[in-house]
Structure 1
Amino acid sequence: MQESLAMDPHGGHYLNKAALLSPLGAARIAQLVLGCSTMSLVAHQAGYSANYGIFCMFVWCFCFAITAVVFTLDVTRLHGCMPISWDNFTVAFAMLATLMYITASVVYPVYFLRFECPSGRCEERDYRIAVTVCSSICCFAYGAEVFITRAKPGHVVGYMATVSGLLKVVQAYIACIIFGALANDSEYNRYIATQYCVVIYSLCFAVTVVVVALTVTGRTSALRFPFDRFVVIYTFLAVLLYLSTAVIWPVFCFDKKYGTLQRPSGCPQGKCPWDSKLVVAVFTYANLVLYIADLVYSQKIRFISQQPA
């Protein structure tokens, strides 16, 4: 049996030209070009080492790989075969990539960039400057995608495209920074009160990740109660819990009865428990502000229930 082909004037294109010829497509192409350039410069001459360098290289490789997959699936329209909410996934990843690139763009020059040239050889320094520039510009490329796909007033979009959804990604990312500081000899196990704070950080992080995961997978209807009510109640409780840690953590870390207000003079930089405690305190207040903003904004959005595809 021989198959025949016919032209259908009403048929759609297999390739999505809008994924290329649109502001969103331009942003993703810029992400790929800049990400590839950054990795190539590091691998060729700039170099990296130690845990900070490994983290930066992981950020660049991870974001490039996921962006390449997203771009390919969008161009070929194969994202419709994925068992996820595509719009929610892409905007959540773009927000996460923006935060990761910002971190890498700060960490890499701080630990690897020196403006003086050792032995008169400036080639390595110049490559590291180029890495910093490419990585910094790529932050704006991912931020542009977030800006393009964010929720507009009156439009029906996925939850992750709203300010509340984007804040969930930022809250989870800041919690990861807190965990990193806690693991860096923060002495949190000295007091039950500071251990309580760690439990609060872990609990809020876990629930936030669950909210993001349910949204990205399109399984919000799996909850036995309305998703919008769950999100608002959880955010309210998170504000109260973080408020308690914002009071307890500084008292048991910097009050002279339990710790010290000033940095100890003989404490080595990068390995000082006082520094880790300060990082935890700063980002605790940062997350508290984000949860409050999330709670305020969640009163302004209207949820529309959708069945998973």
Structure 2
Amino acid sequence: MDPQGGPYLNKKALCSPLGAARLCQLAMGCAVIAMVTHSAGYSGSQGVFCMAAWCFCFAMSVVVFFLDATRLYSFLPLSWDNLTVTCAAFATLMYVTASVVYPLFFVRSECPYAGCEVRDFRIAVSVCSILGTLAYGAEVVLCRARPGQIVVGYMATASGLLKVVQGFVACVIFGALANGSQYWRYEATVYCVVVYASCFALTALVVIMTLCKRTRNVCCMPFDRFVVVCTLLEVLLYLSASVVWPVFCFDPKYGSPSRPSSCPQGKCPYDSKVVVAVFSFLNFGLYTADLIYSQRIKFVSSNANS
């Protein structure tokens, strides 16, 4: 028996909609990894990314399910509700990306040289990956706080979930910057990189503080006000970067307004610059939505209720 007099195992980990969603995550993750390693296969950086995403999410789901079923999460110095919804949101994004990348690069209507069996396995992998996406998305929906609801778990709010998406989009931007974007050519584009890194650091700080239950007061102000101040700063910084980056990358005075014909597909600096520009605008929109949603949060410090 546990200290509260209940059973060691948590029946809700199995007999609940949330438990069913997590079991589906495990089943789809296991099926995808088994089929890819058995016959579907993967290659190149795209395939490695997909396999890494599936394996990471599967391992994360195993740990979450085990800790929830055995109630061992009560011994962790972390906010369990915030941690699980953060993991589910991040896994949803990873699965969405893998569910697009894998069929795009590996599924063809005609049979490859290895035969139609490989094609069929790859189609099955894509289907199971999509089902896994729905399973992780279902957990996010089940754990999400409703508007106007007084909540302890900040990460369950729309603002908290947007923080996960913002961090994921920032990682895409960093990947494009590292892929021959030539951002070092101008001080203005270096400034944009500093903006992306600073905003990512602030977002990660808010998430880490929430997971570690450090949500009472920050810099002599309530946590919810601290989040709003950070978000407003990030909106202003992304607004400047969303203007500066396209000017210094696509204006004829500094860069190229169109894709050079001699540029190799997949290894062209212009492509990386376009990705950075598009996702900069996307993150600007996400931070703006975050700022709007954060005004509606009625947040209760987890320290006061733990």
8 Å Cα contact 2:209/2:215 also seen in 1: yes
Structure-2 residue corresponding to 1:115: 109
The one-letter code matched in structure 2 to 1:188 is Y
Structure-2 residue corresponding to 1:173: 168
The answer to whether residue 277 in structure 2 is matched with residue 281 in structure 1 is yes
Please state whether the residue corresponding to 1:114 is helix, strand or coil: coil
The one-letter code matched in structure 2 to 1:282 is V
Structure 1 residues 14-93: aligned runs within 5 Å: 14-93=8-87
Deviation at 1:270, TM superposition (A): 0.4
Structure-1 residue corresponding to 2:216: 221
Please state whether the residue corresponding to 1:307 is helix, strand or coil: helix
The one-letter code matched in structure 2 to 1:289 is G
Structure-2 residue corresponding to 1:259: 255
Structure 1 residues 296-307: aligned runs within 5 Å: 296-307=292-303
The one-letter code matched in structure 2 to 1:166 is L
Choose which of 121, 132, 146 in structure 2 pairs with 1:127.
121
CA distance in 1, matches of 2:84, 2:287: 22
Larger Rg: 1
CA distance in 2, matches of 1:240, 1:21: 46
Unaligned runs of 5+ in 1: 1-6
Deviation at 1:119, TM superposition (A): 4.4
CA distance in 2, matches of 1:114, 1:252: 39
Deviation at 1:254, TM superposition (A): 0.7
Higher alpha-carbon deviation: 138-147 or 45-54: 45-54
How many pairs does the alignment contain? 301
Higher alpha-carbon deviation: 213-222 or 282-291: 213-222
Unaligned runs of 5+ in 2: none
Deviation at 1:12, TM superposition (A): 1.7
CA distance in 2, matches of 1:64, 1:181: 26
8 Å Cα contact 2:150/2:297 also seen in 1: no
Q: What is the percentage of aligned positions where both structures have the same residue? A: 62
- The list of structure 1 runs, each at least 4 consecutive aligned residues, that deviate by more than 6 angstroms after superposition, is none
Choose which of 161, 168, 171 in structure 1 pairs with 2:156.
161
CA distance in 2, matches of 1:119, 1:222: 62
Deviation at 1:48, TM superposition (A): 1.0
Deviation per residue, 1:175-218 (Å, 9 max, x gap): 00000000000011111000000000000001100110110111
Deviation at 1:155, TM superposition (A): 4.3
Deviation at 1:136, TM superposition (A): 1.0
TM-score scaled by length of structure 2: 0.95
Deviation per residue, 1:72-101 (Å, 9 max, x gap): 111111110111000000000100000000
Cα-Cα RMSD:
1.5
Q: 1:36 to 1:256 in 2, by over 3 A?
A: same
The answer to whether residue 186 in structure 2 is matched with residue 191 in structure 1 is yes
TM-score scaled by length of structure 1: 0.94
CA distance in 2, matches of 1:17, 1:75: 7
Deviation at 1:307, TM superposition (A): 1.8
Deviation at 1:224, TM superposition (A): 3.4
CA distance in 2, matches of 1:170, 1:100: 10
Structure-1 residue corresponding to 2:136: 142
Higher alpha-carbon deviation: 222-231 or 137-146: 222-231
